[in-house]
Each structure stands twice: as structure tokens, then as C-alpha cells.
């Protein structure tokens, strides 16, 4: 067995949150090791979120990985909400003075991975049999097989950035953690295609046939979603059927703008709201999907992960520079305040825009809520400030 490697922070998971944390730490003179069970190519190919809050863009800039984003990202000052054929625009820029940026998670992953490799960061892909221990004391350890050998890492802290199915949350004694979950009775059928977007901004649709979302990854690549039963399979949705159903759900004024083409990726994803708390256990910190999952309706998943990274990073810098643990001690509480607010908004937006089976009173409430939103600047402002991301407390 090889001798134990020592580092300040052992990061489990090389997705955007793990690599972002490692990049920020290195730029602040704090060493880390990133341990990932998948290949670099697999992690980089996952089709995920594509809408960034201003706070996430700011964090990418702080990490020094925002150059391509600034060139290629699409800045949006609003989005459309459609109820049957009525289109109502939420003017983000006009209501709260902030905008969001469309830039795919695959691009973020590529940018950060390139930066870590260029900086000589210690990122180890294709690790197997990963285990963590000692995080409830003063000597956290990570053990794993890599390149045919057993390795161990001794660290001051462990950051669990390994997702919903990762080993970090699963390593916590059940009596020490509480899980909250709501599973929705439908999923999203998503299609990625190299066609121009329907509109220059996102379009959320509440239609009698079900929810639809018209999004994009660039000016020439579109991402579309349809609400579908959880029992649906991708094989049941050839491209022709998908485009026809999407067209049927769009308002009449948008249908002529729909450009169709062959899909390059197609998948069905279930929707759930999930929060695990607390998010700190001794010297183990849960980050991103390891601690929370939100339905994608409010575009909060990646942004919440970036929020966790920001809060944890600030605490680690304070620890190493000032020998003070005040921010680390507040990590779980501070992160969960944002997590629960974002979970609430994602749940609310999902309830508002989707059709729920056998729910007549729910439908009547949707009608009332949407009518209220159309006539209330205060309601629109509330939507806008949640959509662009709530402010961070002082010190973060």
C-alpha cells in the first residue's frame, strides 16, 4: 500500500462544484485533492443545467474561469410565462436590475477542468472503492483504488461534492441526518438539438396538454422539455412525435418560430425535491446534489451547488488565513437558509406551471395565481428576485 498523501481539503467528486472548489482553493494558496470515480470524458459529457444566476457568474470570475463564458454566454433580461395562449414576460432587468446568463454546464465543466489541469491540480479520475472515515474526529481519511494501487489521503477536511448517489452522504450515520423529500408524479422529457432557439429568452408553458419549456444552450443549440408520465420511455418518443407535441403546447404566436431538427440527446428525468440536513458532520461538508435536489423548473440546481461552494470556500479561507472557524461553524445553517428558499421557489414554480393528475382544485388555484401574477408588479418582482438568486449575507 502506498504511503498516505496529505492535503488540506479532500474533495470527493469532480463535477462543477468539486472542481470549482479546488480551483478557488488553489488560487487562495490552499491545497486540495479531487477524487472522482468516473472518467474525465464521462463527467464532461453529462447534459445538465444551462442558466446561471449573477452570483454563479461572479464565482466563476473569482475562480478565473469566466473568459469563454463572457464571450459566448447569452445574457437574458427576462423570460416568458405562458398560460394557455396568453404570454406574460417577467422583466428581470426592469424589476430587480439583474440578469441571468445562459451557458451550459458541459461548457462550465470543460472550462474548469481545463483550468485545473493547466494549473497542475491534483485531480484523480477513475477511482474505485472510495471510502471516507475519521471525519467525526480530527483525522479525516479517504481510501481508494487508483491506477491499480490502493491510495489513502489524509486531510483536514472532506468536501462531499459527489452527488445524490455518492458515498459521502451515505457514510453519515442515519441517526445523525434527516432527509426531506417530495417526488412529483411526472417527469421531463428533454431533447437537445442543433437548431436555433424558439425565442431569445426562455419560454415556460402551462398548457392543457402539459408543461413545456423552450430553452437553449447557445444561439444555435436548443434544449426543449415536455412534461410526461414517469412511465414514459425515450424509445416511445421519436423526433417527429416530440416536435409535434411541443408545437401543440406552444402558444399560437410562437409556433411559426419553432425550428425542428434531429435530436442529438434525448432523456427522461424524474422530478423531486430533496434536502438533507444538517450539511456538516464534523469535518465533512456536503455540497450541491449530495445535500439537495430541486426540480429543474426554477433553474436552481447548479446555482445552489455554486452557492454551497461559495459559502464553504469563504469558511475554509478564514480557517487557514485567520485560524478562525466562525464561517465554517455556520456553513450548514447559512447554506440551508438559501437551500430551503430555493427549494420553496422551485416547488412553487413547479406547482404553478405543471398539470397535476386528478387535481381540479389545484387547477383552479393555478388559474387564480396566474391571473394574480399578470396584474401584480409585486408578484412579478417576487418571481424575478427569486429567479435571479437571492442576495448572500454579509461576509460571503
Residue 307 phi, psi dihedral angles, 5° rounding: -60, -45
164 is catalytic: no
Among the listed residues 151, 254, 292, 300, the single catalytic one is 300
Distance, CA of 199 to CA of 78 (rounded, Å)? 11
pLDDT digits (tens, 9 = 90+) for 337-359: 999 999 999 999 999 999 998 89
Among the listed residues 103, 204, 224, 225, the single catalytic one is 204
pLDDT digits (tens, 9 = 90+) for 278-294: 999 999 999 999 999 99
Among the listed residues 103, 225, 331, 387, the single catalytic one is 387
pLDDT in single tens digits along all 396 residues of the chain: 466 899 999 999 999 999 999 999 999 999 999 999 999 898 988 767 789 999 999 999 999 999 999 999 999 999 999 998 899 999 999 999 999 999 999 999 999 999 999 999 999 999 999 999 999 988 999 999 999 999 999 999 999 999 999 999 999 999 999 999 999 999 999 999 999 999 999 999 999 999 999 999 999 999 999 999 999 999 999 999 999 999 999 999 899 999 999 999 999 999 999 999 999 999 999 999 999 999 999 999 999 999 999 999 999 999 999 999 999 999 999 999 999 999 999 999 999 999 998 899 999 999 999 999 999 999 999 999 999 999 999 889
| Sheet with 51-52, edge to edge strand ranges | 51-52, 100-102, 74-76
Q: Domain limits of the chain?
A: 5-76+100-182+272-357
User: Distance of CA 329 to CAs 117, 240, 248, 297, 323, Å?
Assistant: 31, 54, 52, 32, 13
Distance, CA of 112 to CA of 4 (rounded, Å)? 27
296 is catalytic: yes
Distance, CA of 132 to CA of 35 (rounded, Å)? 11
Vertex 286 angle, CA 167 and 309, to 5°: 130
User: Distance of CA 61 to CAs 23, 99, 212, 275, Å?
Assistant: 11, 16, 32, 28
Question: Under the phi-then-psi rule, with left for phi > 0, alpha for psi from -120 to 50, and beta for the rest, what region is 84?
Answer: left
300 is catalytic: yes
In 176-300, alpha helices (H):
239-249
Distance, CA of 224 to CA of 48 (rounded, Å)? 12
Distance, CA of 388 to CA of 54 (rounded, Å)? 7
In words, the CATH class of domain 5-76+100-182+272-357 is alpha beta
Predicted local confidence at residue 310, as pLDDT: 98
Predicted local confidence at residue 59, as pLDDT: 98
Distance, CA of 48 to CA of 55 (rounded, Å)? 19
Distance, CA of 259 to CA of 233 (rounded, Å)? 24
Predicted local confidence at residue 3, as pLDDT: 63
Predicted local confidence at residue 1, as pLDDT: 46
Among the listed residues 16, 225, 296, 319, the single catalytic one is 296
Amino acid at each position: 500500500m502506498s504511503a498516505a498523501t496529505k492535503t488540506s481539503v479532500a474533495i470527493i467528486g469532480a463535477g462543477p462544484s468539486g472542481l470549482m472548489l479546488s480551483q478557488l482553493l488553489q488560487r487562495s494558496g490552499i491545497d486540495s485533492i479531487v477524487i472522482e470515480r468516473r472518467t474525465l470524458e464521462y463527467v464532461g459529457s453529462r447534459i445538465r443545467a444551462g442558466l446561471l444566476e449573477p452570483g454563479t457568474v461572479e464565482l466563476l470570475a473569482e475562480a478565473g474561469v469566466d473568459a469563454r463564458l463572457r464571450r459566448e454566454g447569452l445574457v437574458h433580461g427576462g423570460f416568458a410565462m405562458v398560460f394557455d395562449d396568453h404570454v406574460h414576460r417577467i422583466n428581470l432587468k426592469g424589476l430587480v436590475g439583474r440578469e441571468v446568463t445562459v451557458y451550459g454546464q458541459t461548457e462550465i465543466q470543460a472550462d474548469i477542468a481545463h483550468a485545473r489541469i493547466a494549473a497542475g491540480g491534483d485531480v484523480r479520475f477513475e477511482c474505485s472503492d472510495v471510502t471516507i472515515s475519521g471525519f467525526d474526529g480530527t483525522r479525516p481519511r479517504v481510501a481508494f483504488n487508483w491506477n491499480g494501487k490502493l491510495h489513502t489521503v489524509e486531510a483536514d477536511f472532506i468536501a462531499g461534492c459527489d452527488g445524490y448517489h455518492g458515498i459521502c452522504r451515505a457514510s453519515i450515520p442515519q441517526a445523525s441526518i434527516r432527509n426531506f423529500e417530495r417526488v412529483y408524479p411526472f417527469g421531463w422529457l428533454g431533447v437537445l438539438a442543433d437548431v436555433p432557439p424558439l425565442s431569445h429568452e426562455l419560454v415556460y408553458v402551462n398548457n392543457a396538454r402539459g408543461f413545456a419549456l423552450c430553452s437553449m444552450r447557445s444561439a444555435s443549440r436548443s434544449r426543449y422539455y415536455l412534461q410526461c408520465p414517469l412511465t414514459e420511455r425515450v424509445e416511445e418518443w421519436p423526433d417527429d412525435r416530440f416536435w409535434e407535441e411541443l408545437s401543440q403546447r406552444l402558444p399560437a404566436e410562437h409556433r411559426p418560430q419553432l425550428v425542428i431538427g434531429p435530436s442529438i440527446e434525448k432523456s427522461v428525468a424524474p422530478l423531486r425535491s430533496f434536502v438533507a440536513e444538517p450539511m456538516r458532520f464534523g469535518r465533512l461538508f456536503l455540497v450541491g446534489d449530495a445535500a439537495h435536489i430541486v426540480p429543474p423548473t426554477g433553474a436552481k440546481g447548479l446555482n445552489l451547488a455554486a452557492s454551497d461552494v461559495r459559502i464553504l470556500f469563504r469558511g475554509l479561507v478564514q480557517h487557514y488565513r485567520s485560524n478562525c472557524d466562525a464561517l465554517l461553524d455556520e456553513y450548514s445553517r447559512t447554506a440551508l437558509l438559501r437551500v430551503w428558499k430555493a427549494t420553496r421557489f422551485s416547488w412553487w414554480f413547479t406547482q404553478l406551471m405543471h398539470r397535476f393528475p386528478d387535481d381540479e382544485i389545484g387547477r383552479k388555484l393555478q388559474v387564480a395565481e396566474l391571473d394574480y401574477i399578470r396584474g401584480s408588479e409585486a408578484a412579478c418582482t417576487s418571481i424575478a428576485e427569486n429567479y435571479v438568486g437571492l442576495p448572500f449575507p454579509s461576509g460571503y
